[in-house]
Amino acid sequence: MKHSPQARLLVSTLAAAITMAIAWSIMHAPTRMPASTEATSSRSKAALRPQPETTPAKPATHKPSANLSIAIDQIEQTLPTLGLRGQIRAEHALSGYQFAWIVSDGDKIVEGTAAGPVPTMNAGDTFDIKIQITPAPLSKNPVVLHVYQLINGEPRGVIAQWNFPSNRAAEHDRTDEKTTPLPDGLVQ
């Protein structure tokens, strides 16, 4: 009985797929312990456990977040601008770090630097970064300060977040022209 070329191709493809599936299942099968080891002591169980495969060591990289802490404080509040201060505190000696303020599209940084380098710092040193922003009306998105170091081309670091007051919408809806006390000491 003669088979068509399409049928031979189909059979060859299926045979190759089955062979690869069997090889994969053998290579990735979980290692199981024989049932007879259940009655052995815990010390011998530990000796019988399969050891994890070792991989070549990657270059050591430190975790930047363990080296510093950051916080954001509100400083000046005169409408329409809002002053914020980011404070970086070095827990260990730091060098090669950068910072970036992240604000919503409607918010504008009107004074201060949006991003830049953090100077070399010794343990216990602090560094203040001040900005003035003009928030968009009823802006709800937080203002974020990201302090990071590039490791293997990826930014690794810590962030701090400042949230707008939750009752800001009610204050904005007032129509009187008088000076109205706003949350967190804001004045009109």
- pLDDT tens column, 8-60: 888 888 888 888 778 767 766 665 555 544 444 444 444 444 444 444 433 33
In angstroms, rounded to a whole number, what is the distance separating the alpha carbons of residues 92 and 71?
17
Residues of the chain above pLDDT 70, percent = 65
pTM: 0.55
Token pair listed for 148: 């990071």
With 80 as the cut, is the pLDDT of residue 187 above it? no
14 to 8, 9, 28, 40: CA distances (angstroms) = 10, 9, 21, 45
Q: How confident is the model at residue 148 (pLDDT cuts 50, 70, 90)?
A: very high
The per-residue pLDDT for 54 is 41
With 70 as the cut, is the pLDDT of residue 188 above it? no
What the chain holds in terms of domains, given with CATH numbers, is 64-166 (2.60.40.290)
In angstroms, rounded to a whole number, what is the distance separating the alpha carbons of residues 132 and 42?
63
Give all strands (DSSP E) within 60-153, no chain letters: 68-78, 81-90, 98-102, 108-111, 115-117, 126-134, 143-151
